Amino acid sequence: MAILPRRKVLITGADGGMGRACARLMGAQDDLVLTDVSAASLDKFAEELRTDGYNVVAEAGDMSDDALIASLVKAVSAAGAPFALVHTAGLSPSLADWQAIMQVNLVATEKLLRALEPALVPGTALVLIASSAGHMFPPMPEVEAILADPLSPAFMATIEGVINHMGGANSPGGMGGISYSLSKKAVHNICTSRGVAWGPKGVRITSISPGMIATPMGKSEIANTSGAQQLLDATPVGRVGTAMDIALAAQFLCSDAASFISGTDLLVDGGGTAGMKLSMGRG
């Protein structure tokens, strides 16, 4: 059997729960380019992986930083070969305010994809980690049109108005909860539009919508918000998900076994979204 050439895989949020699981799983066969905020912690993880035989380049920084993004794009695409992206970097309501959530989950995602576009070659596969939270909205054409242009100068002010209009501070999840759900809905839409635009280039893009996953973020949400426990209670599989549940799905979506899957979202939530929708009478 022929030995497959090693690809480069860029993993953002690589020091987080899902990022670490993706690095461990996918780095067994491919070369890793890892990024996360804390240099000390990321370097320590990268060193652990190298000790275990992995090929790793690690570059720390904030995903909103254009210089970091440019450097990551260069690192993953320099050879001109197909590569993979698993974009897990994100913030949730118990970890950050609504502005930071929108900046990291949506604005930085859009910046990353725009920077990657010139480097895309046939065979490249991109996976964005969204959330089941993005599935809870009915269609909202006007709001989705605003979410489709997150780099416009007026975006943050306009979306603040939208969040206020949707109940803002008075809703159970507060401004952060609505910001989080909107940012993830926007990621679903990015996959749809980029899947259509990039298919003819031979590039696939998908998103994964996790349910409740036992990572540092997931545990913080369960401990601090009512919505997370509600989702967990509605999950028919009857357990919290693991970071490896998500890594296995990301590995599949980046592989040739998923060569006919693009422009769509995969719920990896133990049926929790279906359970929530049924309990809200929207099944």
Ligand X SMILES: NC(=O)c1ccc[n+]([C@@H]2O[C@H](COP(=O)([O-])OP(=O)(O)OC[C@H]3O[C@@H](n4cnc5c(N)ncnc54)[C@H](O)[C@@H]3O)[C@@H](O)[C@H]2O)c1
Residue closer to ligand X by CB (options 82, 242) is 242
**Any contact of residue 63 with ligand X (CB under 6 A)?**
yes
**Any contact of residue 58 with ligand X (CB under 6 A)?**
no
Q: Find the binder of ligand X among 10, 18, 232, 276 (CB under 6 A).
A: 18
Residue closer to ligand X by CB (options 8, 20) is 20
Q: How far apart are CA 154 and CA 207, in angstroms?
A: 26
Residue closer to ligand X by CB (options 68, 125) is 68
**Any contact of residue 104 with ligand X (CB under 6 A)?**
yes
Q: Residue with the closest Cβ to ligand X?
A: 16
Cα angle 258, 264, 265 (rounded to 5 degrees) comes to 95
**Any contact of residue 15 with ligand X (CB under 6 A)?**
yes
**Any contact of residue 150 with ligand X (CB under 6 A)?**
no
Size of the site for ligand X (CB under 6 A): 26
Q: Find the binder of ligand X among 30, 31, 36, 245 (CB under 6 A).
A: 36
**Any contact of residue 129 with ligand X (CB under 6 A)?**
yes
For the chain, helix, strand, coil in percent to 5 are: 55, 15, 35
Q: Find the binder of ligand X among 62, 97, 117, 144 (CB under 6 A).
A: 62
DSSP result, 44-101: HHHHHHHHTT--EEE----TT-HHHHHHHHHHHHTT-S-EEEEE-----TTTS-HHHH
**CB 159 → ligand X: shortest distance, Å?**
17
Q: Tokens standing for 124?
A: 């490249």
CB 126, CB 203: distance < 8 Å: yes
Handedness of CA 179, 100, 36, 225 (dihedral sign): negative
Phi-psi region of 9 (alpha: psi -120 to 50; beta: other; left: phi over 0): beta
**Any contact of residue 91 with ligand X (CB under 6 A)?**
yes
Residue 107's nearest CA partner among 61, 151, 168 is 151
**Any contact of residue 206 with ligand X (CB under 6 A)?**
no
**Any contact of residue 17 with ligand X (CB under 6 A)?**
yes
Q: Which stretch binds ligand X (CB under 6 A): 87-95, 157-165, 188-196, 272-280?
A: 87-95
Q: How far apart are CA 253 and CA 246, in angstroms?
A: 11
Q: Find the binder of ligand X among 175, 213, 250, 276 (CB under 6 A).
A: 213
**Any contact of residue 210 with ligand X (CB under 6 A)?**
yes
Question: If residue 228 lies in a helix (H) or strand (E), which one and from where to where?
Answer: helix 226-233
**Any contact of residue 33 with ligand X (CB under 6 A)?**
no
Question: If residue 166 lies in a helix (H) or strand (E), which one and from where to where?
Answer: none
Q: Which stretch binds ligand X (CB under 6 A): 151-159, 161-169, 207-215, 258-266?
A: 207-215
Judged by the rule CB under 6 A, the positions of this chain that interact with ligand X are: 13, 15-19, 36-37, 62-64, 88-92, 104, 129, 131, 210, 212-213, 215-218
